[in-house]
Structure 1
Amino acid sequence: MKAERKGLWLGFVGVAIFALTLPMTRLAVGTPDAPLMSGVFVALGRAVVAAGLSILFLLATRAPWPRRQDWLPLAITSAGVVFGFPLFTSVAMRHVEAVHASVIVGVLPLATALVGALLHRQRPSRGFWICAALGSVLVVAYALLRSGAGLRLHVADALLLAAMACAALGYAWGARLSQRMRAEHVICWALVIALPLTLPLAWWTAPGTALPASAWAGFAYVAVFSMWIGFFAWYRGLALGGTVRVSQVQLVQPFLSMLFAVPLLGERLDALTLAFAVAVIATVFVGKKMPVRTAPATAPVLSPAVEPR
């Protein structure tokens, strides 16, 4: 219970850091009327900065090389949280407000729990699946209502939904690796192995004109905190408390993101947005109460009994 409690607190620290990601990304990419950095540069550039910090950290802590069986999980983690989630959100955030995007993030706790349950050979109950489906329907309904395009989903909303899927995948695999590697080393190696792709692409998409300090401040935050430091607490929390349980700490992330977006970006909360956010979070809260059974293991998996190195 002590480890679980510590995991929940570390998870909350990670979520609090991640909650600023959407507002800060919006600050960096600007709006359609006043564009700043490209979404591709923000996504890949932040990974390059975090990779540089990771190399220094790995050297300072004398991190061992990942084992042979760790490279594929690291590649999957990298695909989810270094490429997929940053790219989709950074491109989308120029076209939607952070308050709007925060509602879409409301589906992430259930998505993470779902992937974690599958990865750890657990069997969610029918009630869990119903809650997962209801939460997803609410998110899509909100996106359709706000799209202003009838029954067509806005491209930015589709990108945000894809980002949630990538995040869930990267979170679950990173948490699994954190059971046998130091949590800090997981995100560091995931960033380093992506560097041969992120560095040239970030260089190619770098802004060629002067930008306001606020844009660079937003970029600096997502590079140092969202892409690096936040994962130190998040992956450690998932490893200690369990992916399915600790993922539910993300319940507070949409609300925190909304609260940060109001003073940072001058956005406002309306009754519809708040109502959908509460409804989505309610489905996640109910879903986490549903029983999840563990299936008998038929193949070797990463053992949670292994102490992090």
Structure 2
Amino acid sequence: MSARPAPWTVGVLFGFVGMLGFSGTLAATRVAVADFSPLAITCARIVVAGLLGGVTLVLTGRTALPERRHLVAIAVMGLGLAVGYPFFLAVALQSVPAVHGAVVTGLAPAATAIIAVFRAGERPPPVFWLACAIGLAAVLTYAYDAGGGAFSVADGWLLLALLCLGLAYVEGGRVSTELGGTTTLCWAMLFLTPFAAGPLVWSLRGVDLASVAPWSWVSMAYLGVVSMFLAAIFWYRGLAAGGIARIGQINLLLPLAALVWPALFLGETITPTAFICAVIVFAAMMVCLKARVRRRA
């Protein structure tokens, strides 16, 4: 009889699948902002994910409301993941290429790890922080190179997006250990749907839907179904199984995976610096994954 895999190994698998689902977010958002406003994109993602979440809760028989002690964390998770992150991301990608945004998203693991220390009681060892710092240095170097030797205002919007994402990962990861990643995500999206439906209709009032490019519709569908719902389910299950700080480092690969989509579909160029960054970031991620993360009592 074969031994069962360690929980953190399962967490890595789920986290990696979730990361791949997230990797197309920047390219899809870059395409969608050509026809839709950041508000429309943000609200559409919530409504689509909320409808899918409601169906999932009914099919799985988990229609009982979460306990009151979970509501605040679920709300913070939903606001960070479905409101703050996609809105600030869409604003930034109105003025910078998806490749630039993909690079800056490499800061997400650092934000997640730091917030996890204060909110989830996790205590990564020194080697964890050293590897994280090396990975971040590589990402920042690449971001500086990709920006032509300067940072733009869009980088500020991207940083705000990452702070929202890190907080959402930590709060969602904490609740997911008790409710499960799927249930947590479904309730978060379902709670936000009534507040997003009205603004979605309002933001589309001046849009000629008949003239919207087909790829913009495809991008919107991807953002709502895959990026906002399916990938998030895998990601939160990974955080719950493997630990927030450790699994959060898988996102160090996100900017590198996200570079592929703009190159394939948007014709954006990947510079030689990307390859060097890929090697450094991958090595740093492996060290972080193998580090033993302790929890405070």
Q: Kindly report the root-mean-square deviation, in angstroms, between the aligned alpha carbons of the 2 structures.
A: 2.4
More helix by share: 2
Q: Equivalent residue of 1:216, what SS?
A: helix
Instruction: Mark the CA change 1:237 to 1:133 in structure 2 (over 3 Å): closer, same or farther.
Output: closer
> C-alpha offsets along residues 188-221 of structure 1, whole Å, 9 cap, x if unaligned?
1111211232111111112512211000100100
Give 1:132 deviation, angstroms: 4.6
CA distance in 1, matches of 2:20, 2:138: 24
Query: What is the TM-score of this pair, normalised by structure 2?
Result: 0.87
**8 Å Cα contact 2:249-2:288 kept in structure 1:** no
Identity percentage of aligned residues: 34
CA distance in 1, matches of 2:25, 2:292: 32
Query: What is the TM-score of this pair, normalised by structure 1?
Result: 0.84
Unaligned runs of at least 5 residues, structure 1: 31-35, 298-309
Q: Greater shift after overlay, 217-226 or 47-56? A: 47-56
Give 1:103 deviation, angstroms: 1.1
Give 1:253 deviation, angstroms: 1.8
Give 1:9 deviation, angstroms: 0.9
Give 1:122 deviation, angstroms: 2.5
1:27 to 28, 31, 37: 31
Give 1:258 deviation, angstroms: 0.9
Amino acid at match of 2:171: W
CA distance in 2, matches of 1:227, 1:181: 19
Give 1:179 deviation, angstroms: 1.0
> C-alpha offsets along residues 240-285 of structure 1, whole Å, 9 cap, x if unaligned?
1222222222232222211122111111101234444554555555
Asked whether 1:43 is paired with 2:47, we answer no
Amino acid at match of 1:267: E
How many residues are matched? 289
Structure-2 residue corresponding to 1:249: 250
Unaligned runs of at least 5 residues, structure 2: none
Asked whether 1:201 is paired with 2:199, we answer yes
Amino acid at match of 1:261: P
Q: Greater shift after overlay, 63-72 or 49-58? A: 49-58
2:153 to 144, 155, 161: 155
Structure-2 residue corresponding to 1:99: 99
Q: Greater shift after overlay, 183-192 or 53-62? A: 53-62
Q: Greater shift after overlay, 219-228 or 6-15? A: 6-15
CA distance in 1, matches of 2:270, 2:92: 19
Structure-1 residue corresponding to 2:12: 8
Structure-2 residue corresponding to 1:184: 182
Q: Equivalent residue of 1:179, what SS?
A: helix
Structure-1 residue corresponding to 2:273: 272
Structure-1 residue corresponding to 2:67: 67
Q: Greater shift after overlay, 224-233 or 279-288? A: 279-288
> C-alpha offsets along residues 8-67 of structure 1, whole Å, 9 cap, x if unaligned?
11111111111111111111113xxxxx21122111211111112212222222222110
Amino acid at match of 2:88: F
